[in-house]
Structure formats: structure tokens, C-alpha cells
Amino acid sequence: MKKISFFLFAASAALIFACGDNYMTSPSGYKYIKHTNSTEGESPKIGDYGFVNISVYQDDSLVNSTYQMGRTVPISVPDLSQIPADQKGVGKANPVADVLSLMKVGDSITVDVPIDSAMRKSPALANAKKLSYAIVLEEVKTKDQYNEYLAEQRKASDEKANEMKAQEAAVAEQLGAIVKDYVAGKNKDKIKSTSSGLKYMIIEEGTGKQAEAGKSVDVMYYGMLPSGEEFDNSYKRGQEFSFPLGQGQVIKGWDEGIALLKEGSKAVLFIPSDLAYGDQGTGKIPAKSELMFYVELKKVN
């Protein structure tokens, strides 16, 4: 499989964006630039799945990328003749699927995506001038190969989920003991505080990448009230909770607390109510509740 350096590709894409020419038109009418012309790579056929890396640029600045997630995305190659009329054309057809048939493995294309009125409703795109998808075709699978791939993924996912679920009881016991000691005023020497009022205890220091704002993180967690009552945990679901750090998509105590950790860390966050759900509370969480979370930072993307 031919790999293209993301940073080299991003740099070359920026240069081409600046030039503003060499555009061609895709079957559905999208303007695109082809950066490469692979002569050896496999070309996807109708019904095949192209596994692509996609980087999204807003006004030539990187917004997000599958490189950050560490995985490609499978996109089915459509039969354009079978697409209903109301799903054809710019703004309706999937721009990535629309250019896949024009690529071979190893090729890279940048597609300009017009920003319509519906997209303008998003605050992030309200004043944007340009939206572009930089696409690299990494691999092609037939439908049968794709189904085999899905079966393998499901098996691996089920095994991982069962492994995580099996940890729930042990994590609950460990956190319960820590919370009991905390309420009793013990272990003060192990607990650190920040200026915001957040407290945290490092149980196991990770050695991986530092979590920081703007990066996507995968976290396992167990949430407990000072009474020792569990209100939510990801172990019973057997799946990490993933979110972009520092974007306000979680409570303030999480945005601050997870950013203190490195990949592989295990810690307990003691989050005051003003960094959690405040006077309102939510679900099983009463108003003005301090929350305790056992967290494992599984991955920093």
C-alpha cells in the first residue's frame, strides 16, 4: 500500500489552494484538484469500498482529520446512474464518494465543498469562505472483502467490550474505597489541587502523548457521588467515551482534568459542582454535587 506523508500532502495542498487553478469537475459537479496520478495503484469499481484518509480544511486551515483519529474511513463507490435525481448534484451527492472512481490507491484529491445555507447555521461555518476535503485513497476492498473486514472488526470490538465490562466490579471497588477515604479526610498527601478547585489523584502515570486542547481523546470512566453511589460508567457499556478536548463538549472539570494526563494514565478526578452540573444537577446527580470520576486515558489522537 502506497502511503503519502500527511504533512507533505498538507503542504502541497496549501500551495495548490493558493494558486487557485488546475481545477476539474467531478461527475456531480464538485470542483477538485488531483495532486497525483498513480499508475500502479488499484482503482475502485462500483460497489467496492475505498478506505480513505480525509482532512477537512476551512479557509485553508485544518479543522479535523482522520490522521488525528489514527484510522481510515471506508466509503462505498456508488453507481451514479442509479442515484435518484433529488440526490444528485453539488450539495447533495457525497463529495468523497463522487471522486473515488477517479482515483487509484496512492492518489490524492482535494474537493471544494460549497457552503450552503443549512451549513451556515453552524457557528463554526457562519463566516467561512471555503470548505475543502483533502482525500488520500489508501486501500480498496471488494464488497465481500469489506464484509469480512466488518466481521473481524465486530469480533475484535466484542472481545474488547467484554474485557472492559469484566473490569467494572474491580474499578467500582477501587473508586469506592478512594471516595470513602476522601470523604473521611484521608489521603490528602496523594491529592493535588488546581486554581479552579479541581482535585485529582494520579493512580498510574501514563507514558504516552500528553492530552491537550484540540486533540481527540478516548477515555474509560466510572462516576460516583460522595455517598458512594454510581451514577454512570463506561465499563458497563464496554466502550470508551471519545470527545475533542477543550471544546466545551464535556463538563469543565473533565476538560481541565483530562488535560492533566498523558496517554495510559489512570487517575481520580474530584470535581466541585461549579465545574460539573452546578445548581441544576442532572439525572442521578443532585444539585450542587461534587463528583468523583475514575478515569483511564486510553488514547490521545
Whether the per-residue pLDDT at 1 is higher than 60: the answer is: no
133 is catalytic: no
Rounded to an integer, the average pLDDT of 2-6 is 39
* Architecture of the CATH domain 165-300: Roll (3.10)
Rounded to an integer, the average pLDDT of 24-44 is 91
The dihedral of CA 157, 3, 40, 33: what is its sign?
A: positive
Other CB atoms within a 10 A radius of the CB of residue 257 amount to: 25
98 is catalytic: no
293 is catalytic: yes
pLDDT tens column, 86-140: 888 888 889 999 999 999 999 999 999 988 878 877 777 888 888 999 999 999 9
Q: Which of 9, 182, 221, 270 is catalytic?
A: 221
Rounded to an integer, the average pLDDT of 129-152 is 95
Whether the per-residue pLDDT at 83 is higher than 60: the answer is: yes
285 is catalytic: no
| Overall fold of domain 6-141 | Chitinase A; domain 3 (3.10.50)
d(CA 152, CA 24): 38
Sequence spans of domains, the chain: 6-141, 165-300
Answer whether 6-141 and 165-300 agree in fold: yes
232 is catalytic: yes
Q: What is the pLDDT of residue 19?
A: 44
Question: In the chain, what is the greatest distance between 2 CA atoms, to the nearest angstrom?
Answer: 70
Whether the per-residue pLDDT at 7 is higher than 80: the answer is: no
Q: What is the pLDDT of residue 74?
A: 96
Q: What is the pLDDT of residue 20?
A: 46
Confidence of residue 21 (pLDDT cuts 50, 70, 90): low
Rounded to an integer, the average pLDDT of 255-284 is 95
Q: Which of 83, 251, 271, 285 is catalytic?
A: 251
The whole-chain average pLDDT of the chain stands at 89
